[in-house]
């Protein structure tokens, strides 16, 4: 049996070094917590902070977000990327208003039944907004749990389900908010994927992986890497790049107005590689299928 997780040491470190003043950590408002969780998916904290404040000023409650036009929500999402998240958040707000009178439920099953709420987000909302004793683990936090309890993560010695169970056992009763926050901070600043700082880690004496050999880690990561064709490309050659440029251009189109696909192509000629301009109509169609834009014949607008 592996050792227990050193939660008290983690919380003591967080009290001294944690990022407790992040704006979503100074509130227990479920709406503000949900907005932060959607924004922080695949987006750096420093980038989110000013955009989070601006979004909340524009849409301060589930009710006000629910009645907004989807196009305005996408406009307010500028700078965050992954625009489908904005639509999922919008759909969630409408469901919360229609099904729960604008008050987000705290129970796990009720949360999971809502659009855009997966297992991680449900656990995060329960821990951060309602202070329920849940552990919200993503890939990065499972890495920390694995290192501490099972050792070096290559090869993996525990499944995601096993790591989730061990984390749930480790949450001190009534301390889920700070415990999850501290684990996130440790994974982001000390026990990182590529450059773990074992010498300054507060859990090093209890960690089964410490000290991690950097050369061995680099070799193991290279061996385990399975890059998709899109990930192997320079960013400006990816579909995501084209999607972002198209949506940014449409954000500048006045509300209730449209732009022709031909004009859209002309507008992007200075920012999109010349040999990719012919891809714009097909990418517009893809965005339309995702519900992010609306295309009628040869004109397009934000949905």
Alpha-carbon span 31 to 94, nearest angstrom: 12
**What burial letters (b/e) apply to 93-107, b meaning 16+ CB within 10 Å?**
bbbbbeeeeeebbee
Alpha-carbon span 40 to 61, nearest angstrom: 18
Q: Is 124 exposed, middle or buried (0-12, 13-18, 19+ CB in 10 A)?
A: buried
Q: Which of 9, 37, 46, 162 is catalytic?
A: 37
Q: Are 190 and 200 in contact (CB under 8 A)?
A: yes
Q: Is 67 exposed, middle or buried (0-12, 13-18, 19+ CB in 10 A)?
A: exposed
- Is 131 in the active site? no
Token code pair at residue 231: 């990930």
Q: Which residues are catalytic?
A: 37
């Amino acid at each position: 049996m592996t050792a227990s997780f050193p939660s008290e040491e983690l919380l003591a470190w967080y009290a001294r070094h944690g990022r407790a003043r992040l704006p979503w950590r100074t509130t227990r408002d479920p709406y503000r917590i949900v907005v932060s969780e959607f924004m922080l998916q695949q987006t750096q904290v420093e980038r989110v902070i000013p955009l989070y404040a601006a979004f909340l000023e524009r849409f301060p409650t589930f009710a006000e977000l629910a009645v907004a036009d989807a196009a305005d929500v996408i406009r307010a999402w500028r700078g965050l990327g992954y625009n489908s998240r904005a639509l999922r958040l919008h759909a969630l707000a409408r469901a919360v208003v229609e099904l729960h009178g604008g008050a987000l439920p705290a129970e796990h099953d009720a949360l999971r039944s809502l659009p855009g709420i997966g297992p991680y987000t449900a656990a995060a909302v329960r821990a951060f907004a309602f202070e329920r004793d849940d552990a919200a683990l993503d890939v990065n936090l499972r890495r920390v749990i694995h290192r501490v309890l099972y050792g070096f993560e290559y090869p993996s010695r525990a499944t995601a389900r096993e790591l989730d169970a061990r984390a749930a056992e480790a949450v001190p009763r009534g301390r889920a908010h700070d415990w999850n926050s501290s684990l996130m901070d440790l994974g982001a600043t000390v026990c990182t994927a590529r450059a773990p700082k074992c010498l300054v880690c507060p859990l090093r004496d209890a960690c089964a992986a410490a000290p991690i050999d950097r050369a061995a880690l680099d070799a193991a990561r290279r061996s385990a890497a399975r890059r998709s064709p899109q990930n192997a490309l320079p960013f400006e050659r990816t579909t995501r790049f084209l999607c972002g440029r198209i949506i940014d251009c449409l954000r500048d189109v006045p509300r209730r107005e449209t732009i022709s696909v031909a004009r859209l192509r002309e507008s992007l000629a200075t920012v999109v590689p010349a040999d990719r301009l012919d891809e714009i109509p097909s990418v517009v169609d893809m965005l339309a299928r995702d519900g992010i834009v609306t295309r009628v014949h040869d004109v397009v607008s934000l949905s």
